[in-house]
Amino acid sequence: MEQKTHFLYPSTLFASRDRYIVNTILGSCVAVCLYDPVLKIGAINHFMLPLWNGQGLASTKYGNIATEKLIEKMTGYGCYKNKIIAKVFGGGEVIDTKISQFLIGERNIEIALKILKEHNIKIKAQSTGGQYGRKIIYNTYTGEVIQKIIKKQSIKQIDKSVGLR
């Protein structure tokens, strides 16, 4: 069967019944990959900030909204929550800072884990934190995720070109 590919932009999410290879690049952003091994359906989000603060649009830029929406998508496809497994990536501290309020990566991870726990979704794999970015490739049909660490110096390069945050 033909494999389609999709590049996942920051603050968007992706879900499909079809077989897709989804690429994305994470800095302090977090991506949650959900997968239902029974129906072989996968969904992934890519959020930039932990919480929607009531300003602007309640978009999937924010972890609390993006993760809830992602779970909704899966159940909308007919997946049972107790069958869904999750893999969580990203949340690196790629921008040097000593101020605790700015630990966006860490707070992004925390919100993702918290919401998954609330829904009793099992976390099968996790690669989070650290001082580097990640490129991940998610196969929505097999649920497999391939990850490559991106060193800091090259993060700066991408930062310029696509505005990775």
Q: Residue 126: enclosing H or E segment and its boundaries?
A: strand 122-128
Residues 102-121: x/- map of binding to another protein (CB under 8 A)?
--------------------
CB of 105 to another protein, least distance (A): 18
Spatial CB neighbours of 118, under 8 Å, sequence gap ≥ 6: none
Q: With binding defined as CB under 8 A, does residue 162 bind another protein?
A: yes
Active-site annotation holder among 13, 22, 26, 29: 29
Q: In angstroms, rounded to a whole number, what is the distance separating the alpha carbons of residues 9 and 48?
A: 11
Residue number with CB closer to another protein (97 or 142): 142
- Between the alpha carbon of residue 86 and those of residues 34, 83, 131, the distances in Å are 5, 10, 23
Q: What are phi and psi of 79, to 5 degrees?
A: -80, 145
Residues near another protein (CB under 8 A): 5-9, 11-13, 23-25, 45, 53-61, 65-66, 69, 87, 124-125, 127, 135, 137, 144-150, 154, 157-158, 161-163
